[in-house]
Structure 1
Amino acid sequence: MHAIVDHIQSVDLKAGETTRRYLDTLTKPPGSLGALEELAIQLSAITGELKPQVMPPAVIVFAADHGVAVEGVSAFPQEVTAQMVANFANGGAAINVFARQISAQVEIVDVGVASSLTLPGVTSSKVRAGTANMVVEDAMQADQALAAIEVGIAAIERAKKAAAKCLIVGEMGIANTTASSAMLAVLAGESVASVVGAGTGINPQQQAHKVAVIERAIAARNADPQAPLAVLAKLGGLEIAAMTGAYLAAAANQMPAIVDGFIATVAALTACRICPAVRGYLIFGHRSQEPGHDVALTALEARPLLDMGMRLGEGSGAALAYPLLQAATSMVAEMATFNDAGVSDKATP
């Protein structure tokens, strides 16, 4: 991980300003395309190019199980993680549908599913068979968290070699909203109750139980909020660690990464706490219904592109936001300037 962090530089703000000036020469009132113009400027700052490319996109879904599932914090049993990985491999999940819509490459990575998987189309990078129950012991050891981060880094390197120009990172793991909520409460200094939502669809009584479980885990683990890797190891998940590595690698490779919902944003926050320069490479796809997502977005000073009442995960919201990046790059590459079109750029006195 340290080698990749050493390669991360801040985004190229001069390139972004060059694009900002160029946008004002296009046949439209200055700033009239609003957030789309800001998106084009950010993409130029990320890539250092006036006319950046975001095609083709790559979708990478990291899957892992969580020991805390035994505490009854999810509406679904742990076996669903492996079953959903098979669904991904067969192309039947929401993220598969949305990935086909945007012609994205898709890779499914088993970084810590509890059961043994030998599925065609699934990359086996298992660090361990699920985390431990964080109420009882650390979710994983520090070296295992680092190994999972390296899994994420390696996945981005593969995507880059396959010529991907934009990254969409997703996850699958029963009870991973519990791990994410625990991490966020510590990293953001917020109460557990303020960050915990319905997750996969638990009722109010189950939600209160989930809050109590997380509070017990935080008290038992005593993670230092100033030590993001320790928070990740003590309270997190293997797929959250892999996503953290993916965001670090995206920044090191000057590639835009569209951040999905709650769990993805907690991973993004972790990456930014490890290396603040990562923040400039992140584009936030959508606002999740999970209450903790607003807390995480605020911590990152982020405004998501979409707000559609979603809470699925898998990278689904990020994939739906991707066409806006296409529109931003097409605007810069294809719109005529006032000079090209023979249109006056002066207001009538």
Structure 2
Amino acid sequence: MNLDDFSDLIERPDGGVRRDAEERRERLTVPVGALGRLDELGEWLSAAQQSVPVKAIEQPRVVLFAGDHGVAELEVSGRAAGTAHELVRAALDGASPVAVLARRFSVPVRIVDAGLDCDPELLPDAVVRHRVRRGSGRIDVEDALTPEEAEEAVRLGMRIADEEADSGTDLVVLGDLSVGGTTAASTLIAALCGTDASVVTGRGGAGIDDLAWMRKCAAIRDALRRARPVLGDQLELLAAVGGADLAAMTGFLLQSAVRRMPVVLDGVVSAACALVAQRAAFRAPDWWLAGQVSGEPAQLKALDRMALTPLLDHGVTVGEGSGALLALPLVQAAAALAAELPERAPDAAVADAEEPPGDAEPAEATA
């Protein structure tokens, strides 16, 4: 498998449709610019859907990829290594932030176990049946995945994207349920942006103290030494310093772009996967929105490299797709405004000019 092949499969949202949407926007009763960035969102959705006016977002879905990372054994996370299944259980039980928000917004949540380190019996079969492996390797000293596992994980993400597109999902909120995932994600971003570990190391969604931050920074620095020799091959890079959940998410993003299915990114993990996907297919980011600022320095670096401006900045660091899900009503509002606001009545002068000559009153003769 060569991820560069996606470059020939992914097209940009329809530019002609976007111009039509912009022209329609100029005819609406609300002055151009009065709705701020909502105008831009509505036009982007029109181009993605190839529809003017834009269609309402009626079947959104939250998709969360779950996995444990061996690097968490170094105590680089606020959670104990191998406990990502607890995050999954909380989401399934409706007791996590993303579950509460999804319930409030009436958005279904799909959880995909790509690499949890737990007995499958602890979770429903619908969650664990796609697992690539049990936990990912400790990226500071070993590969996260074998080459075969990396390809299997990417194909898993592609398959999930196809299933969502085929079922009618018209927008995906993408997130992760992982322990140690921000360390792997920060390594990927540092490698692809050519920066030092200290520039990208954050405190993670669970929060860590200064000593844990130093351990995390050292782990990323060691992982970077292993990442740099394989920068020319995205699949090898994911195998070396990614993980099953990150590789699956990368495949999901690429195939979603192929299927013209818009995706809202959440935090640093989804941003890292998006950056890997961009390296494979430069047009792919045109199908994504950045939902929020997560507070992770690596996320900001990745979004800047992809020229994606976050929709929200509310200091939400919990992860799990929560911040991106908060942005969903904003996207839905942009679609509703673009579709439902009325157009201005034709200008009277223009209407007069368009009247047939035979309908005009004869001019009065002058002496």
Fold-level similarity (TM above 0.5): yes
The structure whose Rg is larger is: 2
Q: Residue 177 of structure 1 corresponds to which residue in structure 2?
A: 182
Give 2:161's match in structure 1, choosing from 156, 163, 172.
156
Q: Residue 56 of structure 1 corresponds to which residue in structure 2?
A: 59
- Inter-CA distance 55–186: structure 2 relative to 1 (3 Å threshold): same
Identity of aligned residues (%): 33
| CA–CA distance in structure 2, aligned partners of residues 149 and 230 of structure 1 | 12
Mark the runs of 5 or more structure 2 residues left unpaired by the alignment: 351-367
Shift of 1:147: 1.1
Are 1:81 and 2:87 counterparts?
no
Q: Residue 233 of structure 1 corresponds to which residue in structure 2?
A: 239
Q: Deviations over 1:171-208 (max 9, x none)?
A: 01111111011111100111110100111211112111
The within-5 A match list for 1:248-263 is 248-263=254-269
| CA–CA distance in structure 2, aligned partners of residues 220 and 10 of structure 1 | 34
Give 2:222's match in structure 1, choosing from 216, 228, 239.
216
Shift of 1:344: 10
| CA–CA distance in structure 1, aligned partners of residues 349 and 30 of structure 2 | 11
Q: Residue 285 of structure 2 corresponds to which residue in structure 1?
A: 279
- If the length of structure 2 is used for normalisation, what is the TM-score? 0.89
| CA–CA distance in structure 2, aligned partners of residues 123 and 56 of structure 1 | 24
Answer yes or no: is the 8 Å Cα contact 2:60–2:172 preserved in 1. yes
- Inter-CA distance 332–113: structure 2 relative to 1 (3 Å threshold): same
Shift of 1:162: 2.6
Query: Which is worse superposed, 212-221 or 264-273?
Result: 212-221
Answer yes or no: is the 8 Å Cα contact 1:64–1:239 preserved in 2. yes
- Inter-CA distance 136–254: structure 2 relative to 1 (3 Å threshold): same
Are 1:295 and 2:298 counterparts?
no
**Number of aligned residue pairs:** 344
Are 1:17 and 2:23 counterparts?
no
| CA–CA distance in structure 2, aligned partners of residues 209 and 79 of structure 1 | 18
| CA–CA distance in structure 2, aligned partners of residues 343 and 36 of structure 1 | 30
| CA–CA distance in structure 1, aligned partners of residues 287 and 217 of structure 2 | 32
Q: What is the CA RMSD across the aligned residues, in angstroms? A: 2.0
| CA–CA distance in structure 2, aligned partners of residues 279 and 172 of structure 1 | 22
| CA–CA distance in structure 1, aligned partners of residues 270 and 314 of structure 2 | 17
Give 2:96's match in structure 1, choosing from 93, 109, 116.
93
Q: Deviations over 1:196-246 (max 9, x none)?
A: 011121111211121112111222454433332222211112111111111
- 1:88 is aligned with what amino acid? A
| CA–CA distance in structure 2, aligned partners of residues 253 and 60 of structure 1 | 16
Are 1:67 and 2:67 counterparts?
no
Answer yes or no: is the 8 Å Cα contact 1:297–1:303 preserved in 2. yes
Mark the runs of 5 or more structure 1 residues left unpaired by the alignment: none
Answer yes or no: is the 8 Å Cα contact 1:138–1:221 preserved in 2. no
| CA–CA distance in structure 1, aligned partners of residues 326 and 227 of structure 2 | 37
